[in-house]
Amino acid sequence: MRALVIGNVDDLDPGFVGQRLRQRGYVFSEGSRERPEEWPGLDGVELVLTLGSEWNVHRPERAALVAAEAALVREVVRRDIPLLAICFGAQVLSHALGGTVGPTPTPEIGWYDVAVDGVPVADGPWVEWHVDVFTPPEGFTVVATTAVGPQLITGGRCLGTQFHPEATETIVGRWVAEGGGADLRARGGDPDELLAATRANVVRSRPAAAALVDWFVDDIARR
Q: Is 95 annotated as catalytic?
A: no
Q: Is 164 annotated as catalytic?
A: yes
User: What value does the CA radius of gyration of the chain take, rounded to a whole number of Å?
Assistant: 16
Cβ pair 61, 97 in contact under 8 A: no
Q: Is 158 annotated as catalytic?
A: no
Q: Which residues pair with 1 in a beta bridge?
A: none
User: Can you list the alpha helix ranges (DSSP code H) found in the chain?
Assistant: 15-23, 63-78, 88-96, 169-175, 181-186, 191-218
Question: 194 to each of 107, 110, 201, how far by Cα in Å?
Answer: 15, 6, 10
Check whether the bond before 105 is cis (ω within 30° of 0): no
69, 95, 108, 164: the catalytic one is 164
Spatial neighbors of 189 by CB under 8 A, at least 6 apart, are 109, 110
61, 138, 166, 178: the catalytic one is 166
69, 87, 108, 158: the catalytic one is 87
Cβ pair 12, 38 in contact under 8 A: no
Question: Which residues does the annotation mark as catalytic?
Answer: 87, 164, 166
